[in-house]
Amino acid sequence: MHRFTGHDLTCIRGERTVFTGLGFAVMSGGALVLTGPNGSGKSSLLRLMVGLLRPAAGAIAWNDERTDDDPDAHRARLLYVSHQDAVKPALTVGENLSFWAALTTTSAPSSTNAVDDALQAFGIAHLADVPARYLSAGQKRRLTLARLVATPAVLWLLDEPTTALDADAVVRLRRAIERHRAGGGLVVVSTHADLDLADARSLDLSAAEAPAEARP
């Protein structure tokens, strides 16, 4: 059983205090949905969870051990999908996924299987040999999200994953999240869409926003 937590977190970007006094907890098989208006700090919180930013106060922990005590171990257990697509336009769809799978998979057969499974999971198997530069915005997003299946990680951190997705792709994403949680994985997702995740907890960041005098 894993436990991912944050306590009394304060985030400062530039001279702005984005939020303060924020806490969260996600257990194995759990999902945490970040809500709040634009600018409330959803993306900033995810970047704190990844370790790309450091909190001005408070701490983030994995099984009660601070994640900044061993950042390499923390990065090895997570997969972060930002709101931007991590796609190399000169590579084919299959080559893009193979690149990501090779970073975390040690054997060629399992890498191939992981890529095939990922292509099928997000409905882009027919695009495997197409250079990524020819993809639509929605297809690029499907390719980016296919990394969730191609590269194993116990903790998924997803920033606006439904951007540019059609209804079918949203269903496929929901299924991938459900399978991940059923296997004991943890998910934190920032979204304005309703993913209808069973038993998901919600964290409204507008409640942790800094007072008006702390904002520009």
User: What band does 112 get if pLDDT is binned at 50, 70 and 90?
Assistant: low
State whether residue 26 is helix, strand or coil: strand
pLDDT at 208: 66
pLDDT at 206: 84
State whether residue 94 is helix, strand or coil: helix
User: What band does 105 get if pLDDT is binned at 50, 70 and 90?
Assistant: low
Task: Please state the length of the chain.
Answer: 216
Q: Which two tokens stand for residue 21?
A: 């006094």
* Percent above pLDDT 90 for the chain: 78
pLDDT digits (tens, 9 = 90+) for 136-162: 999 999 999 999 999 989 999 999 999
pLDDT digits (tens, 9 = 90+) for 145-204: 999 999 989 999 999 999 999 999 999 999 999 999 999 999 999 988 888 999 999 999
How far apart CA 127 and CA 93 sit, in angstroms, is 6
pLDDT at 209: 60
pLDDT at 107: 43
pLDDT digits (tens, 9 = 90+) for 113-124: 889 999 999 999
pLDDT digits (tens, 9 = 90+) for 49-101: 999 999 999 999 999 999 999 999 999 999 999 988 889 999 999 999 999 88
How far apart CA 117 and CA 216 sit, in angstroms, is 47
Sorted by where each starts, the structural domains of the chain and their CATH numbers stand as 3-214 (3.40.50.300)
State whether residue 12 is helix, strand or coil: strand
Q: Which residues contact 65 (CB under 8 A, 6 or more apart)?
A: none
